[in-house]
Structure 1
């Protein structure tokens, strides 16, 4: 009877799986960082894996779809991850824009009041003649 060496096969399969996942993850990170288009086909080619295998990996599949959808929503070429706005910076820009709108509204109101007074004086001076 031969010794059971199946644990070597199992370990080799596990290492191959981990290596394949690492390659796919790295390809995904590289494309995102560079701002390249993220699709299942491109990731599969860069990582040298099959597209069908990518679809069987729920976390990788979800990340590819998320990045792809992000890029589809963007106009023009996709931005690299380092150039994308953070939620905090977008909030800050919105706060600044809202403050500017408030300032312009107040200035507009002051100018309207000045115009009302000027028109009132003009009317008073023309009716007094």
Structure 2
């Protein structure tokens, strides 16, 4: 019985290895085809061309490294920005950051107000309970 199980396991392992090799070959062919057509080399493009998953490409270090290298080669080097562009970009970035900080501040202030309101309510409830039980020092306000 264990011989049959071992044989099945070996057969499944061989099939998985053959499938992985076929996918690797398809991905390599896809990369060559994309290069030949002059298309950008990206994980998504290789995935579509080879009909493999992103996970497969990312899990194989050789394929991943090759795609990342080819993708980096194809990226154009951005032209240096003019000082006016840099200032506008900086202003936009800082304005966006200020907007986010203001929103965060409003949310935090509202959360603190809600907590304070709840604490005042609990305080009032406790004073009333103390007065109900006959506490001389506590008077409801």
Q: TM-score band, normalised by the shorter chain?
A: 0.5 to 0.7
2:135 matched residue in structure 1? none
| Higher-Rg member (1/2) | 2
Structure 1 segment 1-129 matched on structure 2, within 5 A: 1=1, 3=4, 4-5=6-7, 6-73=9-76
Q: Unpaired runs of 5+ in structure 2?
A: 79-141
Q: Unpaired runs of 5+ in structure 1?
A: 76-129
In 2, the alpha carbon distance for the partners of 1:54 and 1:28 equals: 12
Query: Could you say which structure has the greater relative contact order, defined with CA pairs below 8 angstroms and 6 or more residues apart?
Result: 1
Once superposed, what is the RMSD of the aligned Cα atoms? 1.7
State the shift of 1:7 in Å.
1.1
State the shift of 1:32 in Å.
1.1
TM, length-normalised to structure 2: 0.49
1:78-113 per-position Cα deviation (integer Å, ceiling 9, x unaligned): xxxxxxxxxxxxxxxxxxxxxxxxxxxxxxxxxxxx
2:100 matched residue in structure 1? none
State the shift of 1:73 in Å.
2.9
2:109 matched residue in structure 1? none
Number of aligned residue pairs: 75
Pair 34,16 (structure 1): closer, same or farther in 2 beyond 3 Å: same
